[in-house]
Structure 1
Amino acid sequence: MSGTYGNQLAAQNPEKPVIIASYNAEGTLAISLRAPKNNPYGASTICSQFATGGGREGAAGINSLPQSEIDTFIDVVSKYYLLSQ
């Protein structure tokens, strides 16, 4: 469901990356990242920096991100796409 919703948001906001975060049963976060449609690269590069992360250049995710790392993740995403404009 998060992938479908992420794709919908990405289509509506082609210049922005989209992050969908949802809680796992153990209290960590499942992350879905969509690269901007106008710059469909980097999602895999970003998510692979975190344990349990990976995916494709345009769409990637993290299976189990500790809640304490969400601010770091958002910072990495923001800096990556700000610098790649």
Structure 2
Amino acid sequence: ANQLAAGRSGASFAVLNERDDGSYLVSVRSGAPLAHSACGFCQQFDSGGGRKAAAGINRLPASELGRFMDSFRRYFTTPQDLILQKE
């Protein structure tokens, strides 16, 4: 996650690693931590927490993956992002 953050200033992203039990270990980086903290996002999920710029979820059940993806898009998408996607 840190390598991705270094090469993509201002971008928010998540890295998910599947665990042996089928759940996921999640690392989240926020490109705008004052406006959209990574910790604020991760705390929506059990075992989530961290800091404004970098946070994570220790165990995301596979059944929560869809909710995670939808929530991530809503939380980290700004009106400017929507304009840029249309161009």
Which TM-score applies when normalising by structure 2?
A: 0.79
Whether 1:19 aligns to 2:17 is: no
Of residues 59, 62, 84, the one that matches 1:64 is 59
| Alignment equivalent of 2:69, drawn from 52, 60, 74 | 74
Aligned positions, number:
78
Gaps of 5+ in 1: 1-5
2: CA distance, partners of 1:71 / 1:81: 16
Measured in 2, the distance between the counterparts of 1:34 and 1:11 equals 11
Q: Which runs of 5+ in 2 are unaligned?
A: 81-87
Give RMSD over aligned pairs.
1.6
- Larger-gyration structure (1/2): 2
Counterparts in 2 of 1:46 and 1:84: CA distance versus 1, 3 Å: farther
- Distance in 2, matches of 1:55 and 1:46, equals 10
TM-score normalised by structure 1 residue count: 0.80
Identity among equivalent pairs (%)? 38
4+ runs of 1 displaced by more than 2 Å? none
Q: Describe how 1:43-54 pairs up with structure 2 within 5 A.
A: 43-54=38-49
